[in-house]
Amino acid sequence: MFSIIIPTFNNLDYVKILLLSLKKNSTLNHEIIFHVNEGSDGTINFLNKNNYKYTFSKKNLGLCTGTNLAASKATSEYILYSHDDMYFCPGWDKAISKEINRLDTKAFYISGKLDSSYSAWYSNGSKKEEGDYVKGVQTGHWTFWHENGELKKILEDKGINFKK
């Protein structure tokens, strides 16, 4: 149904989690295409071993160029863009398909907004940040940590969104 375009820059551990979430939580068949920026972490070997489509650049060309290169290989009717550190929840593709089928046009862009508590971790398992999103905007109390676990900063917001 979708060609899922995923640019990556030496982020193999997260790529593996993303792929597991797609395998576990997709209800439809999808084409998965990566753009590998640099790939010095074994990403290319992993993708070859597992028969994934990809484009490659020896240096980091950035998100936009990488996305466009990978998208040029897409064969599905719809293109879905993903970051390499995303996790796909159960039924994600059926929900998006349902929304697409409700539209009366083939020209559209669907985007989601996070409206809940949020936490992120470093690849070593230590917490990176936590806080709340309301209508896709960081609000309230946010805490950030260094990779070694030391407190980095705390931001407090009285209902007005802020930037890190």
pLDDT tens for 15-70 read 999 999 999 999 999 999 999 999 999 999 999 999 999 999 999 998 899 999 99
Q: 125 or 150, which is more confident?
A: 150
pLDDT for 127 equals 80
Q: How far is CA 45 from CA 36, 38, 53, in A?
A: 11, 12, 12
pLDDT above 60 for 151: yes
Split at pLDDT 50, 70, 90, the class of 160 is: very low
Q: Which of 152, 155, 161 is nearest to 141 (CA)?
A: 155
Beta bridge partner(s), residue 32: 4
* pLDDT confidence of residue 116: 66
Residue 164's pLDDT band, with cuts at 50, 70 and 90, is very low
- Which domains does the chain carry? 2-102 (3.90.550.10), 117-156 (no CATH)
Q: Say if residue 91's pLDDT is above 80.
A: yes
Distance CA 68, CA 70 (A): 5
